[in-house]
Amino acid sequence: MATIAIAVDDRQKRPRPRTRVLEDERWLAFALLLPTAVLLGLFIAYPFVKGVLLSLSADRVGVSGGFVGLANFDKIWNDSIFRTAVWNTFWYTGVTTVFKLFLGLWLALLLNRHFKGKAYIRAAILLPFIIPTVLSTFAWKWMFDPTFSVINWALFKLGLITGRINWLGDPDLAMTSIIIVNIWRGVPFFAISLLAGLQTISPELQEAAAIDGAKPWKRFWYVTWPLLLPVTMVVVLFSVIQTFADFQLVYVMTGGGPANATHLFATYAYQIGIGTGLLSEGAAISLAMFPFLLLIVIVQLLYIRRVETR
């Protein structure tokens, strides 16, 4: 009887096959990563592959076309509006990123100081980033309206203008307007992210530099900035990706107008693919931004790695 009891105990203590499999780190990692891989495949890989196949065909809404190769890419490259959209996207991304970086860094340095009500001000600064894009953009569109513009009213009261300015009706002013709104929305993201980076820098380094006689500007340039640079590059990388593929803000503000002067990659792809029903050409325009964005991301990642190793 004792022998039977021991055998039963051994069988109970012996791990089941499933348990033995999960004890292997390789199978456990595979089991944990499988749901993520499935989600990425459904919502990222499949749409991307479908877009590539669509750009190589002549499909329209309700009409299945045949394989045309690179004909859609050749067509859009000879499109003057597409070339305008390419220039606008790079200009829009470059200008807004520079201003968001400088204004966000300046704001982060101010918020890093000790003063009364610091927590409330930090929370208030996040409001432009928290408010839904469409809602805040509609408010800005009203502010830029030539008839009811509060901006025109303020400039008129200050004596800076004598007549109405059609902010969204002039190509140059319309581009400037959407750049201003994007900067307004993006500065809080830079400010809070860089503030988090500043919080990780030891105050003792600043104190040691001050004791050695370094001025505030020298302390920032030689102590704070090198330590903050890795965080800054990551924030810039995310901002470039989001701004390069921006759609909501431009679509609500101008719809790509006036006269297709403010189109970006995303808005022009939507107008061609959904507005006119040329799905294949719209997919080609969307994919045209991929090589540019990939190159920008690779360059930034290499620079980030270089900064971290240095």
If we measure between CA atoms, which residue out of 162, 111, 170, 115 comes closest to residue 144?
170
Of the listed ranges 14-18, 46-50, 283-287, the one predicted with least confidence? 14-18
Two structure tokens written together for 69? 């190769």
Segment 272-310, tens digit of pLDDT: 988 888 889 999 998 888 888 888 888 888 887 887 776
Of the listed ranges 112-116, 149-153, 186-190, 216-220, the one predicted with least confidence? 112-116
Tell me what pLDDT residue 264 has. Answer: 93
Q: What is the mean pLDDT of residues 81-90?
A: 93
Taking each helix axis from N to C end, the angle separating 118-125 and 171-199, rounded to the nearest 10 degrees, works out to 140
* Domain ranges (residues) in the chain: 79-309
**CATH number assigned to the domain with residue range 79-309, chosen from the 4 options 3.40.190.290, 2.60.40.10, 3.40.640.10, 1.10.3720.10:** 1.10.3720.10
Taking each helix axis from N to C end, the angle separating 118-125 and 80-111, rounded to the nearest 10 degrees, works out to 170
Q: Identify the residue whose tokens are 């299945």.
A: 64
Tell me what pLDDT residue 262 has. Answer: 94
Q: What is the mean pLDDT of residues 29-40?
A: 87
The proportion of the chain whose per-residue pLDDT surpasses 70, expressed as a percent, equals 92
Q: How confident is the model at residue 269 (pLDDT cuts 50, 70, 90)?
A: very high
Q: How confident is the model at residue 247 (pLDDT cuts 50, 70, 90)?
A: very high
Q: What is the mean pLDDT of residues 39-45?
A: 88
Q: What is the mean pLDDT of residues 229-247?
A: 90
Q: What is the mean pLDDT of residues 71-91?
A: 92
Name the pTM for this structure: 0.85
